[in-house]
Homo-oligomer: A and B are copies of this chain.
Amino acid sequence: MEDKTQIQEAIKIQGEVVRKLKSEKASKDQIDEEVAKLLELKAQLGGDDGKHQFVLKTAKGTRDYNPKQMAIREKVFNTIIRCFKRHGAETIDTPVFELKETLTGKYGEDSKLIYDLKDQGGELLSLRYDLTVPFARYLAMNKITNIKRYHIAKVYRRDNPAMTRGRYREFYQCDFDIAGQYDAMIPDAECLKIVHEILSELDLGDFRIKVNDRRILDGMFAVCGVPDDKFRTICSTVDKLDKMAWEDVKKEMVNEKGLSEEAADQIGEYVSMQGGMDLAERLLQDQKMSQSKQACAGLSDIKLLFSYLQLFQVTDKVVFDLSLARGLDYYTGVIYEAVLTQAGVAPVATEAQRGAPAEESVSVGSVAGGGRYDGLVGMFDPKGRKVPCVGVSIGIERIFSIMEQKAEASAEKVRTTEVQVMVASAQKNLLEERLKLVTELWNAGIKAEVMYKKNPKLLSQLQHCEEAGIPLVAILGEQELKDGVVKLRVVSTREEFDIHRADLLGEIRRRTSEA
């Protein structure tokens, strides 16, 4: 009874929380979450009819995939995996959770977004935040100094979800990384080639791949007069340039981060520059920039990178962009990010065009990113031995949304099964004959279905084929059984003809060979 009183009290308080949020016009997500808590409390108390009431939902920021979405997901994955395999990658898998310690100190400010597991006795664990840190842990643990691998798996971030824009708390990453001591920029260029191949093949509209280098950023900060200890924080601010106007970025640098106005203005000049190999050459001659050894090393590598990109035939989409400054701490060299530039593919882009906040308009486009991280594996090695790495991560959720919308818009129906033939009967009492025939088909490797009814109506069997896109129906009736044939019906044309049982397998295979 005491428990019950406590719950009732909690319900009262939670009810007030919800009312307050509603009156304050809080975000829908926030209200939903508090309402869910309220419903859970009420469920604990038990409903009027004494039945336990469940909150029927998935966790905040997550979603189920229905069969149609899975069919699209499979298609996208196949395209990506085909590309990774074409480039000779192996694949590995790591657990969904790691020791909390493994993730500590790798993500800077974003560490607060890591999901921890409850301490139920034993080790302290966290859900993986990306696939890169587990990869580095794997390399160090197994003393691997050489590998080209891909890894497609879900990662977890307690971020503010925006599911209509493809931002989830559980989402897929498709990572391709090359680890090993190699000649400069060759593996880096292959990563960009891979992004180019995948985005072209997925046919998502035009795209651009921005390239920069951490050393150029650092050199630029140095020559612009940013104090050493402010490099990282100023870099984070520059990173916001794809979401904020320069004026606001400058304001943050000067007002919040205490940078001099003069230094900020100098940075402003550089970060407006975009180009190709020519820009790298020009900056190598730049009076100020050329004073930084770091920047020069980065610029020379950008030149080399572009020469390989020419051989790979992908320079049409690649831009050297000094405003690109990816957030993660672990990058040490080249960095890149791919954005979709064709507006109007997704409704979100349309929304952006209509004048939604800049934050939303630009972030829509980013679908891949990565760079070189030569120090991360060394952080795990007891002796600090480094393994140079470069990689790319394809952000698949946004691609899913676009593909889903395309499928929705297209007239073509998305099939969710691959069934080639339905075994049907025209009369009653033929269940046994249907089961015998479908067994014959299954045993021969043919994808076949039968209705789980003793006496299904022919019409309902045919309707199921129409709905599921099954191309053929093998119809059994008294006469067919007597004649040793099956009536094969082509669903799309409704034509029907008798086939000898002995010829049935061949005929089905011939007619569904593209499936």
Q: Judge whether A170 and B96 touch: CB under 8 Å.
A: yes
Q: What is the copy number of this chain in the assembly?
A: 2
Cβ contact of A116, chosen from B33, B94, B118, B141, cutoff 8 A: B118
Q: Judge whether B88 and A312 touch: CB under 8 Å.
A: no
- Residues on B with C-beta less than 8 A from A118 are 115-119
A75→B416 CA distance, assembly (Å): 22
A484 at the interface (CB under 8 A from B): no
Segment with Cβ contacts to B, from A16-24, A98-106, A492-500: A98-106
Q: Judge whether A125 and B439 touch: CB under 8 Å.
A: no
Cβ contact of A117, chosen from B37, B58, B115, B431, cutoff 8 A: B115
- Residues on B with C-beta less than 8 A from A102 are 54
- Chain A window 70-110, contacts with chain B (Cβ cutoff 8 Å), 1 for yes, 0 for no: 10011000000000011111111111111101100100000
- Residues on B with C-beta less than 8 A from A43 are 101
> In the complex, what's the smallest C-beta–C-beta distance from A126 to chain B, in angstroms?
9
Residues from 128 to 166 in A contacting B, C-beta threshold 8 Å: 137-138, 140-142, 147, 149, 154, 156, 158
- Residues on B with C-beta less than 8 A from A123 are 33, 36-37, 59-60
A99→B308 CA distance, assembly (Å): 50
Q: Contacts A43-B101, A101-B43, A116-B118; is A96 near B93 (CB within 8 Å)?
A: no
A445 at the interface (CB under 8 A from B): yes
A511 at the interface (CB under 8 A from B): no
Q: Judge whether B312 and A439 touch: CB under 8 Å.
A: yes
Residues from 28 to 54 in A contacting B, C-beta threshold 8 Å: 33, 36-37, 40, 43, 51-54
Q: Judge whether A70 and B97 touch: CB under 8 Å.
A: no
Interface residue tally of chain A, by bracket? 35 or more
Q: Judge whether B54 and A183 touch: CB under 8 Å.
A: no
Q: Judge whether B33 and A87 touch: CB under 8 Å.
A: no
Segment with Cβ contacts to B, from A259-267, A275-283, A446-454: A446-454
Q: Judge whether B122 and A446 touch: CB under 8 Å.
A: no
Q: Judge whether B55 and A439 touch: CB under 8 Å.
A: no
Q: Judge whether B94 and A64 touch: CB under 8 Å.
A: yes
Q: Judge whether A186 and B54 touch: CB under 8 Å.
A: no
From A307, which residue of chain B is reached at the shortest CB distance? B432
Q: Contacts A125-B59, A178-B452; is A442 near B95 (CB within 8 Å)?
A: no
A463 at the interface (CB under 8 A from B): no
Cβ contact of A98, chosen from B58, B73, B197, cutoff 8 A: B58
A86→B99 CA distance, assembly (Å): 40
Q: Judge whether A436 and B86 touch: CB under 8 Å.
A: no
A491 at the interface (CB under 8 A from B): no
Q: Judge whether A86 and B53 touch: CB under 8 Å.
A: no
Q: Which of A59, A99, A312, A449 has the most CB of B within 10 A?
A: A59
Residues from 302 to 349 in A contacting B, C-beta threshold 8 Å: 308, 311-313
> In the complex, what's the smallest C-beta–C-beta distance from A30 to chain B, in angstroms?
10
The 7 closest A-B pairs by CB, nearest first: A182-B452, A67-B90, A62-B95, A88-B449, A65-B93, A116-B118, A311-B435
The residues of A with any CB-CB pair to B shorter than 8 Å are 33, 36-37, 40, 43, 51-60, 62-67, 70, 73-74, 85-99, 101-102, 105, 115-120, 122-125, 127, 137-138, 140-142, 147, 149, 154, 156, 158, 170, 178, 180, 182-183, 186-187, 190, 193, 197, 308, 311-313, 379-380, 382, 384, 416-419, 431-432, 435-436, 439, 442-443, 445-449, 452-454
25 A-B residue pairings within 8 Å (CB atoms): A33-B123, A40-B99, A43-B101, A54-B101, A58-B98, A58-B141, A60-B122, A60-B123, A62-B95, A64-B93, A67-B90, A67-B91, A70-B91, A85-B418, A86-B446, A86-B447, A88-B448, A95-B170, A115-B120, A120-B158, A178-B452, A180-B452, A182-B453, A187-B452, A193-B442
